[in-house]
Amino acid sequence: MELWKIYAEIIVQPGDFPSGDTIGFMNIITWANSAEAAQEKIAIYFERFAWKIVGVEAATILHPDFIADDDEFDELVEQARNNPNAILCGTFYSYKAN
């Protein structure tokens, strides 16, 4: 198992976020054996909220010596390092769909 960062475009339910937007991007951190396994694990977790992954922009293994440039992301990584069941989501960056 390796720690993965998945940067995915997702659809959420109206009202789930203050903006009211329903489509956007999010960094998600989880443990998995492959990028595909990480995406499937996240998709199953998102079903609880009726969210859907539209596409994955990037899937990256986070090596043990990884240090994030961003405090929020660094905190997510640190929380996940000691929790093999973790599925941690960063900020939802929404946009208006045409």
DSSP secondary structure, 25-47, as one string: EEEEEEEESSHHHHHHHHHHHHG
Q: What are 25-77's pLDDT values in tens digits? A: 999 999 999 999 999 999 999 999 999 999 999 999 998 888 878 888 888 89
Give the per-residue pLDDT at 13. Answer: 94
**Number of structural domains in the chain:** 1
Q: What is the pLDDT of residue 98?
A: 67
Q: Are 8 and 45 in contact (CB under 8 A)?
A: no
Please return the burial class of 98, using the count of CB atoms within 10 Å of its CB with bins 0-12, 13-18 and 19+: exposed
Q: How far is CA 4 from the centre of its chain?
A: 9
pLDDT at 17: 87
Amino acid at 87: I
The CATH number covering residue 19 comes to: 3.10.510
d(CA 91, CA 12): 13
| Residue 70: domain span | 2-95
Number of residues that make up the chain: 98
- Write the CB contacts of 8 (distance below 8 Å, at least 6 apart in sequence): 25, 26, 28, 39, 42, 53, 54, 55, 56, 57
